[in-house]
Structure 1
C-alpha cells in the first residue's frame, strides 16, 4: 500500500488521519488541562468529524455515502470555524487558544496534503 500518491495523501491515509484526529480531539483537551468550555467544543468537533468520516466514500467508513471531494469541502469549511472558536466561545486562557490554533493548522494541513481527486478506494 502506497501512502502517498504523487499529489498527496490517498483517501485511505486521509481516513487514518481523520480517525486519529477524532481520537486526539476527544483525549487531548483533558490531558492538556483545557477549560471545560474548550473540552466541550473539542468533543463537539470530534463527534462531527467522526460522523463525516463514518459516512465518507473511502476505506474505513461505515457507509460510503458522502463523496470524498465533498468531505474535503466540508473539512475546508471548518477551518475558519476552528480558527474563530476561541473568540466565539470567549476562551480567554492561552492554552485553549493555542490548542484551537494547532487544531486549525492540523485540519488545514491534512486538507492541503490530500489528493481530493484520487480514487476513493486507494
Structure 2
C-alpha cells in the first residue's frame, strides 16, 4: 500500500474520526464499558491531533512520528480491549472495536510518517 497522505491528511482524518467514532458507537447501540471506551478513544484522538506537529495542530508539541508510534500501539489496545474491559461477550461491541482497530491500522498505513514538517504560515 502506498502512502496516501502526510501530516495534513492524517490530521484531517483524525479530526473526522473522533466525532464519527463517538456517533457511530451510539448508532451501533453500544452501552456500558464499550460506549465509555469509544468516548475515551474519541477524546484521545482529539487530544493527539491537537497537540501533534501538523499544520492542523493547535499546540504542536508532539512529534509526528511519536504520534504514529502511539497510534500503532493504540491499535493493539483496541484489538484487546473487548477482553481487557470485559465486554467481549457483547458481539456488537466486540465487532465494533475490532473494526475500529482495522480502520485505525489502515489510516496508520496510509500515512507517510516521514513527511517533512513545513513551516506554518504566520
Q: Secondary structure at the match of 2:10?
A: helix
Equivalences for residues 1-122 of structure 1 within 5 A: 7-91=3-87, 92-121=89-118
Conservation of the 8 A alpha-carbon contact between 2:3 and 2:109: no
Q: Provide the C-alpha distance between the structure 2 equivalents of 1:33 and 1:100, rounded to a whole number of angstroms.
A: 13
Deviation for aligned residue 1:7: 3.5
5+ long unaligned stretches in structure 2: none
Q: Give the whole-Å Cα distance in 1 for the aligned partners of 2:82 and 2:30.
A: 12
Q: TM-score, normalised by structure 2?
A: 0.90
Q: CA RMSD in A?
A: 1.5
The TM-score normalised by the length of structure 1 is 0.90
Runs of 4+ more than 2 Å apart: none
Q: What is the number of equivalent residue pairs in this alignment? A: 117
Cα distance in 2 for partners of 1:26, 1:54 equals 17
Q: How many angstroms apart in 1 are the aligned matches of 2:94 and 2:39?
A: 16
